[in-house]
Chains A and B, each alone.
Chain A
Amino acid sequence: QQQVKQSPQSLIVQKGGISIINCAYENTAFDYFPWYQQFPGKGPALLIAIRPDVSEKKEGRFTISFNKSAKQFSLHIMDSQPGDSATYFCAASQGAMEYGNKLVFGAGTILRVKS
């Protein structure tokens, strides 16, 4: 129930195209859903995050779509660029203090944007 399932495992997109990565969760107590971007040999960097009271959040070229009833959320990268080539992780956590705000990560998606 603590798992977050992420797909696809890898993705190749043409420059200028839309990259879409999907995640699904089971634990309905999760109330914070961040996406992280990680380049090789570096730590993850927070990209964008959403809470379940909204269905969509957009920051620049990055958009999270959230479907509470389906327990799914996705990351859309518009106008994908070669510099977006990285590994993307979705995650989820429960905000209550007794859960320590521990993040549960998806397996990751390796994105390659072809120029």
Chain B
Amino acid sequence: GAVVSQHPSWVICKSGTSVKIECRSLDFQATTMFWYRQFPKQSLMLMATSNEGSKATYEQGVEKDKFLINHASLTLSTLTVTSAHPEDSSFYICSARAQTKNIQYFGAGTRLSVL
């Protein structure tokens, strides 16, 4: 099956710093990547949809200046949490949709802890 690699798997940072999370599709080209946030024992909440070469589309209530998304190639999207605060601590998950299929493949997730 298709593989989506997400890095890092766990990051701890100080309040006020920025953190970058990478999402790569390893064996397929992904025209669309999605970023989700998941709180403990809760469902996945879509944050934004990222299309290669264009600006990301953010869901209502998600601050685009705080969660910067870059989708520079068909295999890489990044999410940067800027000026992170403790309330940003969460599990962030990316998914990639193959160019030829309407199926989303998920990364393993990144646990962000902001001290």
- Total interface residues on B, CB under 8 Å, equals 24
- Total interface residues on A, CB under 8 Å, equals 22
**Using Cβ atoms and an 8 Å threshold, which residues of chain A touch B109?**
41-43
* Contact A95–B102 (Cβ < 8 Å): yes
Q: How far is the CA of A40 from the CA of B62 in the complex (A)?
A: 25
Encoded as 1 (CB less than 8 Å from any A CB) or 0, chain B from 41 to 63 comes to: 11110100100000001000000
Q: How far is the CA of A42 from the CA of B44 in the complex (A)?
A: 12
> Is the CB of A66 closer than 8 A to any CB of chain B?
no
> Is the CB of B34 closer than 8 A to any CB of chain A?
yes
What secondary structure prevails in chain B residues at the interface with A?
strand
Most buried by A among B41, B43, B57: B43
What secondary structure prevails in chain A residues at the interface with B?
loop
Closest to A107 in B: B43
CB under 8 Å from chain A, chain B span 1-21: 1, 4, 6
**Using Cβ atoms and an 8 Å threshold, which residues of chain A touch B102?**
32, 93, 95, 101
Interface 9-mer from A13-21, A44-52, A54-62: A44-52
